[in-house]
Amino acid sequence: MKICIYLFLICCGESDVVVNVYGSSLSGFGFKDSDVNLSIEAPEGSVPSQVLVMACQALGPGDGIFEDIESDFEGRFPCIRFRDKQSGLRCELSTGSVSAIKTSQLLCDYRKIDPRVHLLAMALRYWARLCGVDSQSDGSMPAYSFVLMTIYFLQHCVPPIVPVLQEDEVLEVTNTDSLGELWVKMLKFYTYDIAIEEIVISVRKREPVSRDELKIPNRRLAIEGMSCHIFNIVTCISLFYK
């Protein structure tokens, strides 16, 4: 799919345009039916919004590779949504997603440390989907917040399974707990072991992050995004449970 879009843009005379995958398609923490997130890296000197408009025009004609093409240029984050005809996957094409790409790559690095990271995170994501609390657009939590919760737990379980990558921490994994044992311990961790309404779930540093440090008010849950300019990624959770 990345190659198809690239070829479309070449036909429009923009051979310097690069399309990158991000989100769960890059991190590996997605379901088979998860949307594919794509980001256009515009050539130097060009206007990103114009490149996005050009991409929308390029996606329409051709051999019908894509369908259900919709543009949303008025929203906070302008994008193009469409469906890949062959796979049936929904795609979202945007621009200026450098931070999201870095976050996705970092999550991918965590996934590769230990196979239990991926399995436990996907188990929690599946549980969240069954409970209907993994849809940010519906007022609940963004899907990748459950991945961060899993990583945070695995950084603080005894003994820990994953290091703090953003502190270049080196860790020799000695934990031999099974997936089932870790699942039970994770539920206990978030239910009894920590004061969930007082702490910030942050995977970027070993030392605890206070809510005062990030200027986060009292909320049911606070999860710090992996990008330095994003603080609580679950600000809507209070409204969801109000």
- Tell me the pTM: 0.88
Residue pointed to by tokens 């969801």: 240
- Domain range summary for the chain, segments of one domain joined by +: 2-99, 114-240
pLDDT at 117 over 80: yes
Mean pLDDT for the chain overall: 84
Q: What is the pLDDT of residues 187-204, one digit of tens each?
A: 999 999 998 888 889 999
Q: What is the pLDDT of residues 49-72, one digit of tens each?
A: 788 888 888 777 656 778 898 998
Cis peptide before 208 (omega within 30 of 0): no
CB 60 within 8 A of CB 69: yes
Percent of the chain with pLDDT over 70: 85
Mean pLDDT confidence for 124-145: 85
Residue 113 exposed, middle or buried by CB count within 10 Å (0-12, 13-18, 19+): middle
pLDDT at 238 over 60: no
Q: Which fold has domain 2-99?
A: Beta Polymerase; domain 2 (3.30.460)
Mean pLDDT confidence for 130-138: 79
User: Residue 47 — pLDDT band, cuts 50, 70, 90?
Assistant: confident
Q: Which fold has domain 114-240?
A: Poly(a)-polymerase, middle domain (1.10.1410)
User: Residue 15 — pLDDT band, cuts 50, 70, 90?
Assistant: low
pLDDT at 30 over 50: yes
Q: What does the alpha-carbon distance between residue 230 and residue 218 come to, in Å, rounded to a whole number?
A: 17
